[in-house]
Every structure is written in structure tokens, then in C-alpha cells.
Amino acid sequence: MSKKNLLTVGTLFLLIVIGVYAYQYSGSVKIKTSESPEDVVKKFYSYIAEGGSSSISEAYRQVSSKRFTLTEDKFKGIVLNYPKNMVVKIVGSKVVKDRAVVTIEYKCTSAFGGEVCVTTDINLDLDEKSRSWKIDFTGESTPDGKNS
């Protein structure tokens, strides 16, 4: 094999390796955020628990509008039905690329008397423009990247 052919094959091989590496790691560049998904969820529910117009407005600012835009009045109407002084406990979290899921537990009054402990997942989207996590309040996404 001549030097020219050997050089061509070597260059082609190198380009293939670089292409495979680039494809495999595309989209995995992490954007630095000032708060973790867990911190965003804690802050969101603390604003709701405080109640009041300004706290509810702050909670609304934590909501993603990536897939669906909920008006602030509609949001307020929903969260005003949440239990007063609702305490949320973070029990787990997982980040996959530009999405995160935070598992929370909270207690609410049972229709049969007493309290029941509820566990649920809160999905979040990474807002690249503001470099922050936003809560998918309407549940339009899933953590595996498929829209519901």
C-alpha cells in the first residue's frame, strides 16, 4: 500500500472515530444553573405554602412554558386549592440532559379521616435562555423525553 493510500485510510478512520464520538456525546454539554432541580421544587412549594399574591406570583415564575402556557390567573386558581402550609419532602431526583424529575412526598387529609402520605414525581425542563430549571406544572412531558 502506498503512503498516499495509507494516509487517506488513516484520515478516514480518524474522521469516523471523531464523528462517532461527537454523535454519542451530542447534547450532553451541561449548562450551569444557579439552583438544582431539588432547590427549585423546594422553593416552588414554599411560595405556594406561604400563600399571598406575591408568593403565588413567584411560584408562577418557576413554571415552564416550553410546551404549554398556563395563565397566571388559572395557575392561582389551581394552587389556591392546595392544602394550607403544605410541607413537601424531597425523596429523590434524576437529571437526564435537559430534563429532571424530582420525587416528592407530602401529607394530605384523607376522605376517610386522618392523613395519607402521597408520593409523586415533578418534571422539570431546563430553560437554556435563563439557565434555570422550570417546573412542568401541567405535566406535558415525561422524564424520558417523550411528550405525554
10 lies in a domain? Answer: no
- The answer to the question of residue 98 being in a domain is yes
Domain with 61 in it: 36-148
Determine the pLDDT at residue 18. 55
DSSP for 35-104 reads S-HHHHHHHHHHHHHH-SHHHHHHHHTTB--SS----HHHHHHHHTTSPTT--EEEEEEEEETTEEEEEE
pLDDT score for 24? 45
136 assigned to some structural domain: yes
Q: Which parts of the chain sit beneath pLDDT 50?
A: 17, 19-29, 148
CATH number at residue 105: 3.10.450.50
Whether 6 maps to a domain, the answer reads: no
| pLDDT score at 11 | 61
Instruction: Output the nine-digit C-alpha cell for 2.
Output: 502506498
Residue 20 belongs to a domain = no
3-state secondary structure (DSSP) of residue 134: strand
**What is residue 85's predicted lDDT score, i.e. its pLDDT?**
73
pLDDT at position 25 = 46
For residue 142, the model assigns a pLDDT of: 66
Q: Is residue 56 part of a domain?
A: yes
CA 91, CA 138: separation in Å to the nearest integer?
21
Instruction: Please indicate, yes or no, if residue 94 is contained in any of the structural domains.
Output: yes
Q: What is the pLDDT of residue 28?
A: 47
CA distances from 99 to 16, 52, 61, 107 (A): 30, 30, 18, 26
Count of domains in the chain?
1
Query: Domain for residue 43, yes or no?
Result: yes
